[in-house]
Amino acid sequence: MTKIVGQDSGTIAPGAGPFTEACSWEIKPGFQLSDPQRIVIGVRTWDANAKFTLSVYDGMASDGTLLYSYTQGSGRPREVRARLHSLATIVFTPEAGTDSSALELYWYTSVLCSSSETVTLSDQEGSIGSGPGPYKNTMACNWLVAPGGVPDGYHVAFKITMLDTAADDAYVRISNGNGNKLAQYSGSDIPSKEIGCPTASCQVYWHTGEVSNGNMHTGFALQYYLSDGDITPATVDFPVWAIIVIVFVGVFAVLFFFGCIRKLCKVSCCDSDSSSSSSSSSAATRSWNTDSTYH
């Protein structure tokens, strides 16, 4: 049994069962996607003990390309991005009598990394991602999020929904409209807190370096939307040369300060010695004059 799903985002839950046959869903967003938009499919909750196979295809299951297949014991199901623009199919195949009440899938459309040109997004909500499959060498993608008609008291916020990078070769950075960094992430720990952007436009930048052979990391995905939550303060990254200059100036200032203190001490001591010498000379003169008077 195949169901046609026409929305551009939503959830799917097969239900409790017991099941006697496979179920499938064809995801066809209600508008025509254009490059670099893609359908993204993921699993929100699942029962690791339930016996079923979950398959995701580009296009139709009958003639499409298998993107991903999950079976019991193969770890947490990962998020999958379709390579085609307008159709993806999910096939759920349970063993007889399987109870899959804990299984819930989700899907949405996302603007993925496809070139080095900046992609401008004017919607008040949407999704951004690094691209289908494992990421490649030297990727550099920019998205400018600049929605119109933002109500007073609201701003653009970002929420990381998927993060899977090697810690040393890739990162996603979120900045305000002035280019000041609000947050930067790599690794696999998904932050729970949203990132609030204080300016009318915000930037998302995805970068990869020299990726190791056999890389299986899939990058990142995030959602953006309007929020009345907290604003994230900007941070400034100092380049290495600036840090060296600051350290050099600081050391010079300390040496200069102590040099001045030493000079002041020497002047003070000299003045004291001069005063003592003058006093001794005056006393000696008075003593000589006194002796001369008696003789």
The tens digit of pLDDT for each residue in 35-88 reads 667 788 878 777 777 778 888 888 888 788 888 888 876 666 777 777 665 778
pTM score over 0.85: no
CB 179 within 8 A of CB 157: no
d(CA 228, CA 154): 5
Q: What is the mean pLDDT of residues 17-45?
A: 73
d(CA 213, CA 53): 29
Q: What is the mean pLDDT of residues 268-285?
A: 51
Cα–Cα distances in Å, from 102 out to 12, 43, 174, 205? 11, 11, 34, 35
d(CA 90, CA 82): 11
Q: What is the mean pLDDT of residues 206-224?
A: 85
In the Cβ-directed half-sphere of 236, how many Cα atoms lie within 13 Å?
A: 6
Residue 242: pLDDT band (50, 70, 90) is low
Mean pLDDT computed over every residue of the chain: 78
- Burial of residue 104 (number of CB atoms within 10 Å: 0-12, 13-18, 19+): middle
Helix (H), strand (E) at residue 277: helix 240-294
* Closest CA relative to residue 45, chosen from 107, 94, 102: 102
d(CA 219, CA 193): 19
State yes or no: pLDDT of 174 exceeds 50.
Answer: yes
Q: What is the pLDDT of residue 39?
A: 82
**In terms of pLDDT, which residue wins out, 100 or 285?**
100
State yes or no: pLDDT of 258 exceeds 90.
Answer: no
Percent of the chain with pLDDT over 90: 19
